[in-house]
Amino acid sequence: MRLSEIARLAPVRVVRDAQFEDLGLLGSADDAILVYLVEEHAIRRLERTPGAVAVITTAELADRVPSGLGLAVADRAEDAFYAAHAALMEKTEFYWKSFPTEIHPTASVHQRAWIEPRNVRIGPRAVIEPHVTIFERVVVGEDSVVRAGTVIGSEGFEFKGPAMRQGRASRETRDYGARNRRVPHAGSVLIGARVEIQASCTIDLSLFRAPTTIGDDTKLDDLVFVAHSVRIGRNCLIVAGSVIAGSATIGDEVWIGPGSVISSGVRIGDGAAVVLGSTITRDVPPGMRISGDLKTYELP
């Protein structure tokens, strides 16, 4: 999609047109994304978002956007970005093209599981146990197992409201309105092959087009929470009670111990180990073993 097409869906003025493949937030690891910029200090984060190809920003910050990026200007850039997001979800097939649910004849789905009648695909030899709920826009790969009570494809937690300002000096003057407003989740969940998701886990839809992903051969223990737009690689082991917050990226062959918390946007490198009960708020290099709390800084 081109930025000029967004101008028909949201209150923006296009200065430099550009082609983009998805929407995303500053700091995202995705390629060819449209982002928004509303604070001068966040220009550093734009520079650390190599996949950004187009930006919605204010007239005051427009000159700070690199000339190689597409540019649109709005009086309220964040609101315009989410207005475009909602319009793409409601009025176009940009995020998802609907289809009747497909369950492979070799899959085993318990009679007390709930599978939405549209926009779900269950692969060969997959096993879906009792009281599993699978909402729309979910794909479960071959030979994967989803155990009792798990919910896949639930609406993620993304709201804009007055509490967004709390403790954030850079947001003190931002107008979030008088009440909390939900940001709809337009994305999907992609479960790879030979994944096992044990009892009472929750896996949220992605916020934008790129799916919340669990890679081939990864295993989740009971009561693991995977938030929107998380990417988990192959052959990971994620133990009971762990929380992986939105847009975190987990590499291949990662161990995450019981009760660990991975903060939003954090990247855990291939082969890393997070010991039980750890709180991780910054990136972990490949092969590193982390115990205790790792929070030497917080994102602005």
- CA distances 157 to 166, 249, 273, Å, are 17, 18, 27
Find out whether 170 and 193 touch, Cβ atoms under 8 Å.
no
Could you give phi then psi for residue 123, rounded to 5 degrees?
A: -85, 175
Catalytic position from the list 110, 131, 185, 228: 228
Q: d(Cα 173, Cα 113) in Å, to the nearest integer?
A: 47
Please report how many Cα atoms fall inside a 13 Å half-sphere around the Cα of residue 168, on the Cβ side. Answer: 14
**Environment class of 289 (CB within 10 Å of its CB; exposed 0-12, middle 13-18, buried 19+):** exposed
Can you say how many angstroms the Cα of residue 33 is from the centroid of all Cα atoms in its chain?
13
- CA distances 49 to 9, 183, 294, Å, are 25, 22, 23
Residues paired with residue 204 on neighbouring β-strands, in sequence order: 154
Asked if 131 is an active-site residue, the reply is no
Residue 75 token pair = 């009086």
Would you name the residues annotated as active-site residues?
228
